[in-house]
Structure 1
Amino acid sequence: MKRVLFVLGQLNDLDIDWMIRQGAKKNLHAGNWLIRQGHEIDSLYIVLTGEFEVVNDQKPAHPIAIVGAGEVLGEMSFIDARPPEASVKAMEDSTVFCVPKQVIREKMEQNPGFAARFYLAMSMFLSSRLRTTMNSLGFGVPQDDADEIDLNVLHQVGQAGARFNQIIHKFSTV
């Protein structure tokens, strides 16, 4: 759940309102693919409910990760504009919030402040994911400390959690 807090904690209330207006809810049944390795994707996703398995198509028996509510998906392809390096499949009936990448890019061109906040959020998010990966490979901080939230981010967690709940509330009735 903490991954989305990096994103929502850096954006302001106007940014979140804009994202909610531009985004949509997407429901997936268990077994449906959200992202396919090597295939372009057109949105950035936030998992609202459910659970997803992240796999490399060459080694599908060895999942890379299991992700649930509050995780962000499609961020690497957003940043570097390359096709995804992994596939993502719903393990149970699930719901994601999706915002088209092109709409986000247009907003960044029109609003440099939004662009700066968004890229800072993505940087913090990807840094956290890399640290977690390094820890899981046995490098760095002992595993007990690997899931700690950085003190620089801690003060924004409450507000970010409220923003995530705002997104869930908006799309729970749609």
Structure 2
Amino acid sequence: MRNSLLLLGELSDEDVDWLRHSGERVSISAGGVLIQEGQPITALYLLLDGTLEVKTGTLGPPDQQRTVAHLATGEVIGEMSFVDNRPPSATVIAETDIIVLSVSQEQLLERADTDLAFGKRFYRGLAFCLSNRLRLMNVGSAQSGSGAQSTDISHPDIAANEAVAKARLESLIASAR
């Protein structure tokens, strides 16, 4: 599932317009690194086009590196470091040429501090994203890596916003082209 739907479904149209105008579109060629394990990041990313590979253990020997996820258009990246202000625990590499919307953590924090309603919506959306990632990890572990992971939006509050969130995501993707 595209985690951005969980975030964008919580935000208002005004919030999404703010993200569009505050964020910077960044292009990275296939093989380029978006996030390096252990290196602090200063932005939250929304993948607008392309695919990413998420690897752990990249600071150690090659035989200890492990691919933990492949992310497609519409994913949110860097949310864990945004929430806990710690360096990333994985390296994120462009599998194809990608375009991300990069929104600085500083801008997001400032907006959340000055617009409490935005902050509430934004952090609730991030909580849904993190919860979804954890649930998918649990499903994947329970199925011994079979890859058959549920992507169902089963919470009624989330499902009610799904169509709006999809339209907002399509709008952001279209603005990147």
Structure 1 stretches (4+) deviating beyond 4 angstroms? none
Tell me the distance in 2 between the aligned counterparts of 1:145 and 1:97.
Answer: 26
Distance 2:33 2:16 in 1: 27
- Is contact 2:31-2:95 (8 Å) kept? yes
Corresponding letter in the other structure for 1:113: A
Percent of residue pairs identical = 33
The CA deviation at 1:108 is 0.7
- Stretch moving more, 2-11 or 144-153: 144-153
Question: CA offset at residue 145 of structure 1?
Answer: 6.8
* Equivalent-residue separation in structure 1 for 2:11 and 2:97 (angstroms): 29
Equivalent pairs, count: 169
Residue 160 of structure 1: how far off its partner (Å): 0.3
Superimposed CA distance per residue, residues 33-75 of structure 1 (whole angstroms, 9 cap, x where no aligned partner) = 0000010111100111111110011332x20111110111000
Task: State whether structure 2 residue 69 is matched by structure 1 residue 65.
Answer: yes
Residue identity opposite 2:18 in structure 1: W
Q: Is 2:140–2:148's contact at 8 Å kept on the other side of the alignment?
A: no
CA–CA separation in structure 2 for the residues paired with 1:27 and 1:171: 10
The equivalences for 1:14-25 within 5 A come to 14-25=14-25
- Residue correspondence of structure 1 range 128-167 to structure 2 within 5 A: 128-138=132-142, 146-152=150-156, 153-167=158-172
In structure 2, how many angstroms separate the alpha carbons of the residues matched to 1:166 and 1:92? 21
**Partner SS state of residue 19, structure 1:** helix
Q: Alignment RMSD, CA only? A: 1.6
Evaluate the alpha carbon distance shift between residue 135 and residue 108 of structure 1 in structure 2; reply closer, same or farther with a 3 A threshold.
Answer: same
TM-score (norm 1): 0.92
For 2:175 and 2:2, the matched residues in 1 are separated by 20
Q: Amino acid of the residue matched to residue 9 of structure 1?
A: G
Which residue of 2 is the match for residue 80 of structure 1? Answer: 84
Where structure 2 has 5 or more consecutive residues not aligned to the other structure, the ranges are none
